[in-house]
Amino acid sequence: MAFRFRFALLASVLVLFPGAVAAHADALKPFKDDLFAYPATLSSANNGAYTVIDYRELRDINDRDQVPERRVHAQYVDISVRKVQQDLLLKTDAGDIRHIAVGKTEGAGIIVLYLHGQGGSRKQGVDDFTFGGNFNRLKNLMAGNGGLYLSPDFTDFGDTGAAQVAALIGHYVEQSPAAKIFVACGSMGGALCWKLAARNDTGRRIDGLLLLGSLWDESFFSSPAFRRHVPVFFGQGSKDPVFPVEKQEAFFRSIIAKSKAYPYPTRFVRFETGTHGTPIRMTDWRDTLNWMLSKAP
């Protein structure tokens, strides 16, 4: 009798709230996982939240790329995803926003944005062959899982740029109101990640931040995103000459220290001997986004 009651109750929940159980099955399907899995783990701490990965330039660039840093070997990419790639212009009160969209522009279940660093453009985040094919993998993960990937241009790394990215997010949230939203920021793009976390609109809507060879910002601790326990991922090369790994590690530890009562969902992957662009090349998108989906508020 008790079993039949629980079964009936579950059936009622599924009828009334069809996404209630699906929320536990948000895992992205594999795409070339064997090629993009992390190399060996050298060490770990904080119950696995902090990991040191064995990165080697000769193996992870020279052997992986047909032309080092310019063109990855063909087995790492699938360019058929270009069929669902569009170069678009969105007119907003914050200005015209050129952006490239890959996947479902309406009804997406997950939205990932990549914000480039100094000297970059919207084209960096959709280049199929640079960074070891890692952007091509992200594009295919989104297209193959009912998601949307966005790589925008923006005016600057200050308030104007943040307003433009917020407007872009707002537009696509209207088209996909149930989507989980994750923002990845490379290098100086991290300034926008922290500004989006601090805004009342995006700070209350985004579901995760990825800082890739990027910077830190103590104002995060007073942001709406921090109060919501939005998961944060850090990928950093141990020999990054732009943003020292020690400072980013210290910031990661400060997030943990401020959340002892309720552990904050954060991860740090240190690529040993890696430099500034290493996290963009080496971050395992599927592993990281699946973790974020499991921790999203």
pLDDT by residue for the chain (297 residues), tens only, comes to 433 433 343 333 333 333 332 333 459 999 999 999 999 999 999 999 999 999 999 999 999 999 999 999 999 999 999 999 999 999 999 999 999 999 999 999 999 999 999 999 999 999 999 999 999 999 999 999 999 999 999 999 999 999 999 999 999 999 999 999 999 999 999 999 999 999 999 999 999 999 999 999 999 999 999 999 999 999 999 999 999 999 999 999 999 999 877 899 999 999 999 999 999 999 999 999 999 999 999
Which pair of structure tokens corresponds to residue 13? 């929940």
Domains of the chain: 28-295 (3.40.50.1820)
Long-range pairs, 21-30, Cβ under 8 A, ≥24: 26/109, 26/110, 26/180, 26/290, 26/293, 26/294, 27/290, 27/293, 28/110, 28/141, 28/145, 28/147, 28/286, 28/289, 28/290, 28/293, 29/141, 29/144, 29/145, 30/286
Query: In terms of Cα–Cα distance, which of 111, 151, 148, 145 is closest to 131?
Result: 151
Query: In terms of Cα–Cα distance, which of 211, 193, 210 is closest to 202?
Result: 193
What global pTM score does this model have? 0.91
pLDDT of residue 118: 96
pLDDT of residue 17: 34
Distances 272 to 29, 142, 211, 238, 269 between C-alpha atoms, Å: 28, 29, 17, 5, 9
Rounded CA-CA distance 148/168 in Å is 13
pLDDT of residue 276: 97
The answer to whether the beta carbons of residues 152 and 113 sit under 8 Å apart is yes
pLDDT of residue 262: 84
Question: How many residues in total does the chain contain?
Answer: 297
Instruction: Classify 244 in phi/psi space as left (phi over 0), alpha (psi -120 to 50) or beta.
Output: beta
The answer to whether the beta carbons of residues 146 and 109 sit under 8 Å apart is yes
